[in-house]
C-alpha cells in the first residue's frame, strides 16, 4: 500500500462515520479556538502596553490627589476627563530632586464632538517648549511644530488630514494623524498646544453655548522623566512629600498593575484550556479505541491482503491528523471571529488597551495553533494506533465477525 492510498482510505473512513467525525472535529475546534483566541487577545494587550508606554515617554504622571483614579482611567482606557490644578505646581515638581524633565498638560473633555462623528474625543494640550512626548513625533513625522489652531489626531479617530473640527466655538484644522498604539489615550485623542487650548477657553465665553471654565493659571497634569541615577518610585515619593495636594503616579506602577491583571487572566485561561485539552485527549483517545474495536475485521482483512503493521499504524494516525488539522483550522476561524466580535465589549469591561499583534506574531500564533491541534490528534491516537498495528490478521477477522 502506498502512502497516498492510506490517506485516501483514512478520508473515506472518516466520511463513512460522519457524525462521529463531526463530534471529534468539534472537540479539536473548541480547544484550539479557545487557546488561539485567548493567546491573540493577551498578546494584543501586551503589545499595546509596550507601544503605549514607549509613546507616553514619561516615568511619572503628577495629578491632583483627588483625581488619581480619573487619571489612571484616562491613561489606560482613554476615557475623556477634565480636572485642573494650579500651574505653580509645575514649577514645584520641576524643582524636586531626581526630576530630569517636566512638562505640563491639559486634559479637556469636550461638551460634544461634531455632528458627524460618534467617537468621544479627548482633548490633550501640551506645552511645546517643555514637551518630550508629542514634540519628538512632530519633529520626526510632521517636521514642523503646531501653530495657531492646528491639531493632530489619534489614529483611532474617524478623522483625516485636512478635516476641520469645532470645539467650544473654535474651529481647529487637523494637520496630522499619529500612529496606532492600541491605547485610547493616544488613539482617540486630539492634541493641541496649551496656547491654543487657553485661547479656545477664552473664546468659548462668547462663541460657545457651553463655555469652557479654564484660565491660564491651570493645568491638569505634569509629565516627568527621572534622572539616570533615580527610580520612578523613589522620585514619586519625593514629589508627594515636597508638593502638597498631588499624587505622583509612576508609570511602572500602573503597567505592573495591568500586567498582574493580565497574568491572572492568562492563568485562568490556561487553566480552562488545560482542562479542555485533557478532556479532548481523553475523548479522542476513547473514540479511536472504539474505532479500532469496531474495525477489527477490516484491519484483519487489510493485513491479510498484504498490509504491514506500519500501514495500519499510519492509517489510524492519518485519520487523527485529518481530524486534528481540519478541526484546528475551524477552531482558528471561530476563535478569531469570536475575538473580533466581542473584543470591544471585553476591553470596555476590563478597561485595558489593545493593539492587534504584528503580522509576524499572528503567523507564529496561527502556526503554533495548527501544530498544537496536530499534536493533540497524534497523542490521542498513538496508543490506539499501536494497538491496531499489533493485531494478527486471523484474530482480528475472527473478533470482528
User: What is the mean pLDDT for each group of 10 consecutive residues in the chain (401 residues)?
Assistant: 62 79 87 84 73 69 92 79 94 94 93 53 92 84 89 87 90 89 80 95 87 92 91 92 93 65 71 82 82 72 72 84 90 86 68 72 88 87 81 59 51
Q: Helix, strand or coil for residue 244?
A: coil
**Range of 155's domain?**
84-219
Residue 399 confidence (pLDDT): 52
The alpha-helical segments, DSSP class H, found in 295-308 are 296-304
Cβ neighbours around 258 below 10 Å, total: 21
Q: Residue 359 falls within a domain, yes or no?
A: yes
Q: Residue 19 falls within a domain, yes or no?
A: yes
Residue 384 confidence (pLDDT): 82
Same domain, 174 and 268: no
Same domain, 141 and 36: no
Of 5, 4, 6, 1, nearest to 314 by C-alpha is 6
Same domain, 276 and 389: yes
Same domain, 94 and 139: yes
Same domain, 215 and 116: yes
What gap in Å lies between CA 398 and CA 381, rounded to an integer? 24
Same domain, 269 and 202: no
Q: Residue 372 falls within a domain, yes or no?
A: yes
Same domain, 45 and 150: no
Domains contained in the chain, number: 2
Q: Residue 231 falls within a domain, yes or no?
A: no
What gap in Å lies between CA 241 and CA 235, rounded to an integer? 10
Same domain, 44 and 102: no
142: cell is 510632521
pTM passes above 0.75: no
Q: Give the burial class of 301: count Cβ atoms within 10 A of its Cβ; 0-12 exposed, 13-18 middle, 19 or more buried.
A: middle
Of 219, 239, 214, nearest to 110 by C-alpha is 214
Q: Residue 252 pairs with which residues in a beta bridge?
A: none
What gap in Å lies between CA 73 and CA 224, rounded to an integer? 19
What gap in Å lies between CA 162 and CA 165, rounded to an integer? 10
Q: Residue 299 falls within a domain, yes or no?
A: yes
Q: Give the burial class of 350: count Cβ atoms within 10 A of its Cβ; 0-12 exposed, 13-18 middle, 19 or more buried.
A: middle
What gap in Å lies between CA 236 and CA 230, rounded to an integer? 10
Dihedral sign from CA coordinates of 27, 33, 34, 39 = positive
Of 372, 401, 382, 373, nearest to 288 by C-alpha is 382
Q: 264-272: list long-range contacts, CB under 8 Å, 24+ apart.
A: 265/42, 265/350, 266/38, 266/42, 269/34, 269/38, 269/42, 270/38, 272/34
Same domain, 196 and 264: no
Given 197, 219, 241, the domain boundary residue is 219
Same domain, 40 and 102: no
Same domain, 210 and 302: no
Amino acid at each position: 500500500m502506498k502512502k497516498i492510498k492510506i490517506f485516501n482510505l483514512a478520508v473515506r473512513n472518516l466520511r463513512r462515520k460522519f457524525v462521529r467525525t463531526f463530534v471529534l472535529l468539534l472537540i479539536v475546534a473548541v480547544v484550539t479556538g479557545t487557546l488561539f483566541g485567548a493567546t491573540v487577545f493577551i498578546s494584543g494587550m501586551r503589545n499595546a502596553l509596550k507601544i503605549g508606554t514607549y509613546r507616553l515617554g514619561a516615568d511619572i504622571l503628577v495629578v491632583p490627589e483627588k483625581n488619581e483614579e480619573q487619571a489612571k482611567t484616562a491613561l489606560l482606557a482613554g476615557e475623556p476627563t477634565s480636572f485642573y490644578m494650579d500651574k505653580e505646581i509645575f514649577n514645584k515638581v520641576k524643582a524636586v530632586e531626581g526630576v530630569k524633565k517636566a512638562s505640563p498638560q491639559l486634559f479637556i473633555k469636550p461638551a460634544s464632538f461634531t455632528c458627524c462623528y460618534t467617537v468621544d474625543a479627548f482633548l490633550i494640550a501640551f506645552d511645546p517648549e517643555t514637551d518630550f512626548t508629542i514634540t519628538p513625533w512632530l519633529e520626526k513625522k510632521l517636521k514642523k511644530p503646531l501653530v495657531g489652531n492646528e491639531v493632530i489626531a489619534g489614529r483611532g479617530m474617524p478623522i483625516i488630514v485636512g478635516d476641520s473640527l469645532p470645539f467650544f466655538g473654535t474651529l481647529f484644522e487637523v494637520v496630522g494623524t499619529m500612529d496606532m498604539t492600541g491605547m485610547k489615550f493616544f488613539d482617540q485623542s486630539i492634541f493641541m498646544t496649551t496656547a491654543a487650548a487657553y485661547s479656545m477657553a477664552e473664546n468659548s465665553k462668547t462663541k460657545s453655548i457651553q463655555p469652557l471654565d479654564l484660565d491660564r493659571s491651570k493645568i491638569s497634569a505634569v509629565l516627568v522623566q527621572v534622572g539616570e541615577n533615580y527610580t520612578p518610585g523613589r522620585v514619586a515619593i519625593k514629589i508627594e512629600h515636597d508638593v502638597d495636594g498631588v499624587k505622583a503616579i509612576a508609570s511602572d506602577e500602573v503597567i505592573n498593575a495591568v500586567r498582574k491583571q493580565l497574568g491572572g487572566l492568562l492563568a485562568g485561561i490556561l487553566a480552562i484550556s488545560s482542562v479542555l485539552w485533557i478532556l479532548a485527549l481523553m475523548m479522542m483517545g476513547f473514540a479511536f479505541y472504539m474505532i479500532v474495536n469496531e474495525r477489527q475485521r477490516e484491519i484483519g482483512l487489510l493485513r491479510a491482503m498484504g498490509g504491514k503493521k506500519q500501514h495500519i499504524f499510519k492509517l489510524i494516525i492519518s485519520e487523527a491528523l485529518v481530524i486534528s488539522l481540519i478541526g484546528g483550522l475551524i477552531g482558528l476561524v471561530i476563535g478569531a471571529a469570536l475575538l473580533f466580535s466581542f473584543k470591544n465589549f471585553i476591553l470596555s469591561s476590563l478597561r485595558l488597551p489593545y493593539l492587534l499583534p504584528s503580522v509576524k506574531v499572528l503567523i507564529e500564533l496561527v502556526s503554533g495553533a495548527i501544530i498544537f491541534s496536530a499534536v493533540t490528534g497524534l497523542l490521542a491516537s498513538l496508543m490506539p494506533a499501536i494497538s491496531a498495528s499489533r493485531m494478527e490478521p486471523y484474530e482480528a477477522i475472527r473478533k470482528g465477525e
